[in-house]
Amino acid sequence: MVLDFVIPLKQNNVILRTVVEGIVAFYSPRTIYIITDSLSTLEILEHFIYWKKGKTNIVPIDENIFRKEDLERKYTWIDEKSREFGWWFQQIIKLDAVNRITTLSDPFVVWDADLIPLIKWNLYNEESREYRFAILQECAKNVFNQEQYHASINHLIGLETIEPVLNGTFVPHHFIFHHTVIRELIERIGSVNWQEKIIALSATYYRFSEYKCVATFMQTYFPELLKYYPYTEFGEKGIRFRESLEIQGKIRRKCDMKEWGLGYEVFREFVKIEFEDREISYLQIEHVV
């Protein structure tokens, strides 16, 4: 089983090495593609020789090949409730990777750059030959966001959004993307101009979720491929820091960090002490600088 990972990254930061080494430790992917700005691309190329990456190839890709400049001109800021262009753009990157990276495995894993795994959930079951992601988030941040997800996705693909059977939400911060699924979804959105159609949502809606959109599309057209671990299995034991300045401060004070980032084993030791040997499945640290 060969798997590649795709990680869109706003900019190089202190936990990128931690995330990458965590993925390598549990999944040993063939390649991890990191899609980011040109400056961060150069920094990663300079630093990743120090990372523990086993046989995994680390390939930084300049995000400008995803039509960043063109799409930014089509983005609309409504008011203070709007999310910034980069937030929308990263979602397009995830969906467009299948077209822009010709060597990408089928399927491949999209993984958010702030998600640090601390235990392994199998992404592929050898016996059943099934790919499966984990429901990690219990619910949307608020009802407003939930309503916006529903409205924007329904507008884009004409389907009613779905949620996992028991609890949790289809915003799991990682996902298994099958080429056929993504290409047929793109065809439904609008084939040649599908990126513009997604970015155009910003003029009317405040939120959109690529993950929830893919899950909804799969439930209707590819239900046999929509496999996941319930929230109670791995999500309940995870910790997500939406406001992360305090935890970032602790990491910087207590961890021995090199200029090329925070090593995974050093981070695991920090977690062990900070959370008093509590069993934690993942940490998600948002807005890392």
Q: What is the pLDDT of residues 206-220, one digit of tens each?
A: 999 999 999 999 999
The whole-angstrom separation of Cα 202 and Cα 206 is 6
| Residue 181 pLDDT greater than 80, yes or no | yes
Cα-based angle 100, 105, 111 (whole degrees, multiple of 5): 80
Compute the distance between CA of residue 99 and CA of residue 108 in angstroms, rounded to an integer: 12
Output the pLDDT for position 264.
Answer: 96
The residue that leads in pLDDT, 259 or 234, is 234
Mean pLDDT, rounded, for 79-106: 97
pLDDT of 34 > 90? The answer is: yes
User: What secondary structure letter does DSSP report for 11?
Assistant: S
Residue 118 has a pLDDT of 98
Give the contacts of 192 (CB within 8 A, at least 6 positions apart): none
CATH of domain 4-285: 3.90.550
Provide the 3-class DSSP secondary structure of residue 229.
Answer: strand
What confidence tens digit (pLDDT) does each residue in 37-74 have?
999 999 999 888 899 999 999 999 999 999 999 999 99
Question: Where is 39: in which H helix or E strand?
Answer: helix 38-47
Say what the pTM is. 0.96
Would you say residue 204 has pLDDT above 80? yes
Q: Is the pLDDT of residue 191 over 80?
A: no
% of the chain exceeding 70 in pLDDT: 100
On average, the pLDDT of the chain sits at 95
Residue 56, helix vs strand vs coil: coil
Q: If you search the block for the tokens 């980011």, which residue do you land on? A: 36
Instruction: Return the bridge partners of 59, or none.
Output: 33
